[in-house]
């Protein structure tokens, strides 16, 4: 399944980024991606991660928050493992030549282990105490989202739900998005959803969220180099729509 979503083969994309334009300079920050090398289903190695950074630079991004999956048993990441991958990338030859600031956090799957991390103060927020979370794409969570938000607020954390437009079990119940917002959840839509990369249902829901002014963040959710080619080819009409919306990305100080 992951191969169908993200591509089953390692790809290198075009030879360079000469065709890219800095169309995302206004956005400044990507806060959802899988740039760290070799620890989830994103970049497989340091060389690819460096190419991620070069493409971010060519597209106008100035800040990147790495958000590798923490989801057991598929991705048994922890704070130490994530920091080690971050350090390998930051210390790699050639990294200092790419003027894109990088920090790390995580994309936390909402389950019992997340609750353990939350209760034991083991989460890694970014920016103004933001924590990026995700749900299953295939089935509804057993967790009470209202109670979970309350617990996070009590810890001084600000919960973000990643790509709500991809949870198709909510696509016919748009009231759920309004309820999440009313309980304090911030919503992050994938840029590629707006561009139709995942499919028409995801694109339709992403547009609904924007039209209803429910979106707080945009993220590339880049897993592979070819994803940068997708977002580089954004239609000007969609780009202008995004620019007209209030987004927190360009307010983040990482």
Q: How far apart are CA 72 and CA 108, in angstroms?
A: 10
pTM of the model: 0.93
List Cβ neighbours of 250 (8 Å cut-off, separation of 6 or more). Answer: 26, 27, 28, 29
pLDDT in tens, the chain (254 residues): 333 333 333 444 444 677 899 999 999 999 999 999 999 999 999 999 999 999 999 999 999 999 999 999 999 999 999 999 999 999 999 999 999 999 999 999 999 999 999 999 999 999 999 999 999 999 998 899 999 999 999 999 999 999 999 999 999 899 999 999 999 999 999 999 999 999 999 999 999 999 999 999 999 999 999 999 999 999 999 999 999 999 999 888 87
On whether residue 211 sits in a domain, the answer given is yes
On whether residue 96 sits in a domain, the answer given is yes
On whether residue 12 sits in a domain, the answer given is no
On whether residue 214 sits in a domain, the answer given is yes
On whether residue 102 sits in a domain, the answer given is yes
User: The domain that contains 140 carries what CATH number?
Assistant: 3.20.20.140
Residue 19 is predicted with a pLDDT of 87
Q: How far apart are CA 98 and CA 182, in angstroms?
A: 40
Domain that holds residue 171: 23-251
Domain count for the chain: 1
On whether residue 219 sits in a domain, the answer given is yes
Residue 254 is predicted with a pLDDT of 78
Token couple for 226: 């070819």
On whether residue 245 sits in a domain, the answer given is yes
On whether residue 43 sits in a domain, the answer given is yes
29-30 and 217-219 as β-strands: parallel, antiparallel, unpaired? unpaired
């Amino acid at each position: 399944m992951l191969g169908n979503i993200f591509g089953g083969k390692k790809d290198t994309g075009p030879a360079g980024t000469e065709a890219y334009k800095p169309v995302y300079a206004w956005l400044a920050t990507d806060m959802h991606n899988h740039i760290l090398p070799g620890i989830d289903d994103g970049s497989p190695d340091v060389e690819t991660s460096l190419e991620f950074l070069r493409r971010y630079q060519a597209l106008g991004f100035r800040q990147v928050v790495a958000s590798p999956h923490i989801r057991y048993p598929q991705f048994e990441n922890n704070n130490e493992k994530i920091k080690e991958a971050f350090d390998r990338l930051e210390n790699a030859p050639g990294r200092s030549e790419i003027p894109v600031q990088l920090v790390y956090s995580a994309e936390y799957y909402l389950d019992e282990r997340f609750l353990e991390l939350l209760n034991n103060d083991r989460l890694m927020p970014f920016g103004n105490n933001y924590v990026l979370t995700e749900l299953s794409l295939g089935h509804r969570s057993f967790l009470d989202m209202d109670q979970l938000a309350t617990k996070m607020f009590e810890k001084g954390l600000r919960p973000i739900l990643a790509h709500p437009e991809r949870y198709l079990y909510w696509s016919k119940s748009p009231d759920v998005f309004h309820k999440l917002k009313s309980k304090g959840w911030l919503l992050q839509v994938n840029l590629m959803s707006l561009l139709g990369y995942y499919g028409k249902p995801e694109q339709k829901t992403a547009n609904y969220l924007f039209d209803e002014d429910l979106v707080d963040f945009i993220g590339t959710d880049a897993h592979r180099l070819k994803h940068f080619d997708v977002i580089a080819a954004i239609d000007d009409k969609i780009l202008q729509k995004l620019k007209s919306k209030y987004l927190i990305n360009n307010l983040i100080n990482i």
